[in-house]
């Protein structure tokens, strides 16, 4: 029983931390609300305003919801009278989900402002329920709604998903008869469009061509291949290609390459480094200048890197490492002994009659070339099987069939 209670307590603390951060980060500029009696103003930390990715981890939030000062605000009593029985209310909503959180200041714990009083607060002050300059004890009810709890549970990591978020804050006074007089009612929106920065999905770089994962033994015949990947085309990517030296790991080679500047900004290629350039977009035709020419028979590793601004600085985002071997189309290649699975796959692909003719005339299976990449051995067999599945599903049409 004790374990179950601890788990519930921890989850509640995590929800509280998430809510405080979400409430306070939903501002893209200085937000200003004023009535005859009070003026409310919020401003976002410049480093957070420039962030391309926002998330709990990038904000450095600890398990109790504290962290760096990312939001600051002020509240002013514009009158010459003491304002009493004041209350805060907060709502947080995501366009694709609904209301994530509702927070209400408890009725037994109002706060007051002296004539002309100006108070300043940060996200940490709200989390601790103590605002400097206000001696009144403040307590809040509410928190994540059922929708909000599902939202937190569904987060893959701690990065907030791409969406339009809105944050509403109200300050009101309870007067005679329990009636409420609204002093300020402001709504802030974040993530209206991606060009404004704000909340976006965590960036992932997916390589497309050439090659495949390390160990796949993918080969190409084009000495000036087009390197392409999936990612935000508006970003600047650093593309690195290094050669296998027989001793260092692919990770070690690429880390060494990244330790020096790219060639387009004055850097020089290391001995094992063949390409190191920055480019905007999602593809790069292997250049003929400023690089080392790819060598037939050599295995190469490549990776794409970019940087993203976060609330605490700059984070490096890297793709997986892929490999490819440049094969000289005119050179002899090792013959792969064909097993029964390979035979069946080839027969399904080209037909029994064509297969018999090839065997009778002395042909043997060496490799298969797809979109300029050569696959041999078991990888070649796997590619053939993939083609057969596409053919059977109607996704592939073979000329002559």
Q: Are residues 185 and 240 in the same domain?
A: no
> Mean pLDDT, to the nearest integer, of 276-299?
91
Q: Are residues 377 and 355 in the same domain?
A: yes
Q: Are residues 189 and 220 in the same domain?
A: no
Q: Are residues 259 and 149 in the same domain?
A: no
Q: Are residues 166 and 20 in the same domain?
A: yes
**Left (φ > 0), alpha (ψ -120 to 50) or beta: where does 113 sit?**
beta
DSSP conformation class of 196:
G
Q: Are residues 190 and 211 in the same domain?
A: no
Residue 350, pLDDT score:
74
Partner residues linked to 98 by β-bridges:
94
CA atoms within 13 A on the CB side of 320: 14
Distance CA 364, CA 261 (A): 47
Residue 15, pLDDT score:
46
Residue 299, pLDDT score:
95
Residue 220 falls inside a structural domain = yes
CATH number at residue 224: 2.60.40
Q: Are residues 254 and 374 in the same domain?
A: no
Residue 398 falls inside a structural domain = no
Distance CA 80, CA 369 (A): 83
Residues spanned by the domain of 167: 2-196
Residue 376, pLDDT score:
63
Q: Are residues 159 and 17 in the same domain?
A: yes
Domain stops at, among 172, 196, 220: 196
Please indicate whether residue 171 or residue 18 has the higher confidence score (pLDDT): 171
> What pLDDT digit, counting tens, does each position of 89-141 carry?
878 788 888 888 888 889 999 999 999 999 988 767 777 788 889 999 988 88
Q: Are residues 91 and 178 in the same domain?
A: yes
pTM: 0.46
Distance CA 136, CA 152 (A): 32
Lowest average pLDDT, out of 2-6, 11-15, 36-40, goes to: 2-6
> What pLDDT digit, counting tens, does each position of 195-215 carry?
444 444 456 788 988 989 998
> What pLDDT digit, counting tens, does each position of 314-363 carry?
667 889 999 999 987 655 444 445 556 667 767 777 778 877 776 666 66
Distance CA 22, CA 149 (A): 13
Residue 85, pLDDT score:
94
Confidence of residue 292 (pLDDT cuts 50, 70, 90): very high
Q: Are residues 49 and 107 in the same domain?
A: yes
Residue 383 falls inside a structural domain = yes
Residue 335, pLDDT score:
45
Q: Are residues 93 and 217 in the same domain?
A: no
Residue 30, pLDDT score:
46
Cα 128-134-135 angle, rounded to 5 deg: 90
Domain count for the chain, please give it: 3
Q: Are residues 297 and 359 in the same domain?
A: no
Residue 331 falls inside a structural domain = no
């Amino acid at each position: 029983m004790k374990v179950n209670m601890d788990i519930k307590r921890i989850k509640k603390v995590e929800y509280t931390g998430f809510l405080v951060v979400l409430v306070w980060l939903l501002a893209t500029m200085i937000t200003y609300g004023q009535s005859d009696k009070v003026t409310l103003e919020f401003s976002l930390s410049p480093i957070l305003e420039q962030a391309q990715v926002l998330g709990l981890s990038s904000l450095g939030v600890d398990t109790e919801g504290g962290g760096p000062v990312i939001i600051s605000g002020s509240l002013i009593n514009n009158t010459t009278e003491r304002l009493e029985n004041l209350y805060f209310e907060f709502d947080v909503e995501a366009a694709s989900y609904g209301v994530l959180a509702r927070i209400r200041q408890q009725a037994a714990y109002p706060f007051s402002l002296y004539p002309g009083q100006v108070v300043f607060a940060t996200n940490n002050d709200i989390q601790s329920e103590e605002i400097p300059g206000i001696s009144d004890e403040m307590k809040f009810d509410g928190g994540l709604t059922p929708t909000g709890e599902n939202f937190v549970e569904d987060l893959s990591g701690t990065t907030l998903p791409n969406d339009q978020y809105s944050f509403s804050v109200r300050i009101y006074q309870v007067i005679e008869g329990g009636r409420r007089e609204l002093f300020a009612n402001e709504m802030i929106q974040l993530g209206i469009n991606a060009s404004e920065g704000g909340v976006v999905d965590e960036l992932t770089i997916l390589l497309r061509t050439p090659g495949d994962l390390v160990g796949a033994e993918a080969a190409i015949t084009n000495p000036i291949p087009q390197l392409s990947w999936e990612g935000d085309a508006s970003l600047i990517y650093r593309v690195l290609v290094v050669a296998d030296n027989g001793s260092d790991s692919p990770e070690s080679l690429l880390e060494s390459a990244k330790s020096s500047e790219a060639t387009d900004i004055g850097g020089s290629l290391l001995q094992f480094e063949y390409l190191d350039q920055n480019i905007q977009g999602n593809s790069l035709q292997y250049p003929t200048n400023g690089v080392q020419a790819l060598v037939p028979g050599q295995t190469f590793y490549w990776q794409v890197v970019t940087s993203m601004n976060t609330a605490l600085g700059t984070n490096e985002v890297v793709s997986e490492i892929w490999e490819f071997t440049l094969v000289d189309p005119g050179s002899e290649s090792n013959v792969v002994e064909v097993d029964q699975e390979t035979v069946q796959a080839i027969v399904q692909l080209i037909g029994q009659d064509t297969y018999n003719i090839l065997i009778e005339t002395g042909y043997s299976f060496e490799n298969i070339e797809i979109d300029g990449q050569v696959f041999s051995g078991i990888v070649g067999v796997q590619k053939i099987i993939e083609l057969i599945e596409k053919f059977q599903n109607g996704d592939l049409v073979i000329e002559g069939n």
